[in-house]
Homo-oligomer: A and B are copies of this chain.
């Protein structure tokens, strides 16, 4: 029975998860472990009930929710193993999974770890932007590595909470997760960044830049994401992403050689069908 939750990293995701739990009927205690400013914001919004050190929060918690950056998550594992209550569930919300799941496998010997990735977010960051409905109708990926990982009491109850907060669980392996998001999330980001970088470099005047339509706006929205959000994601998914970029570059090269060929129609048709399926 999950009665105490420790949110480690009280940012947008951690604070939203806490608010979502409370909105959906969780009556236990939620402890926050984070910087002073984040704890203050988390307490003010009612996301957390108490700000604690890692050392005081983890031994009390049945669910430890790691919502820091990828490297911070990996760094905290060794300390967790000495603090965690047997039977507790440790989960995370990191954007790549293989690196985190294998680090957890090496470091955590006394409790279960279940990798997670909620496909939710918004442009504002931090606990001040937290929203109890952030996960509603969004996919929440879980990446168990053992056959019974979702059937332990802690995992089964956590899965119930994911559903109660309105998210749609998707169960895949860490490898499949990373390969998929390389194509569906990280490649779109780099396609946008590269496009904006190229336009910045080759369109000299602001006046010429205005000779553009709404398409360029769509295609450069992601380019506004800061590098600090992305560098750990890109670095910890480099091999899947290298492959995704190779595939994308090959397709662009093929298009470049067929600009006046009717064969280009099949790419437009496949692309249009995919874009419409995404919206259905």
Contacts and interface: CB of A to CB of B under 8 A. Distances in A.
A197 B264 CA distance: 11
B245 A256 contact: yes
Nearest to A247: B198
Contacts of A253: 245, 249
Interface stretch (A65-73, A107-115, A200-208): A200-208
A23 interface: no
Contacts of A201: 247, 270
Q: How many copies are assembled?
A: 2
Interface string A44-64: 000000000000000000000
Contacts of A187: 195, 198-199
Contacts of A216: 184-185, 188, 278
Interface stretch (A25-33, A128-136, A231-239): A231-239
A208 to B, nearest CB: 5
A208 B271 contact: no
A208 B252 contact: no
A62 B251 CA distance: 47
Contact of A185 (B212, B247, B272, B273): B212
**A209, A216, A256, A275 — most chain B CB neighbours (10 Å):** A275
A246 interface: yes
A223 B183 contact: no
Contacts of A121: 213
Contact of A221 (B195, B208, B218, B268): B218
Interface residues of A, number: 88
A85 to B, nearest CB: 32
A189 interface: yes
A196 interface: yes
B272 A256 contact: no
A106 interface: no
A156 interface: no
| Closest A-B pairs by Cβ, 4 of them | A184-B212, A196-B271, A227-B268, A200-B274
Interface of A: 119, 121, 139, 141, 168, 170, 172, 176-177, 180-181, 183-185, 187-203, 206-213, 215-227, 230-231, 234-235, 238, 241-242, 244-249, 251-253, 255-256, 259-260, 262, 264-265, 267-279
Given A191-B252, A206-B277, A241-B259, 9 more contacts: A184-B212, A184-B213, A185-B215, A191-B195, A197-B251, A198-B251, A202-B247, A248-B252, A249-B253
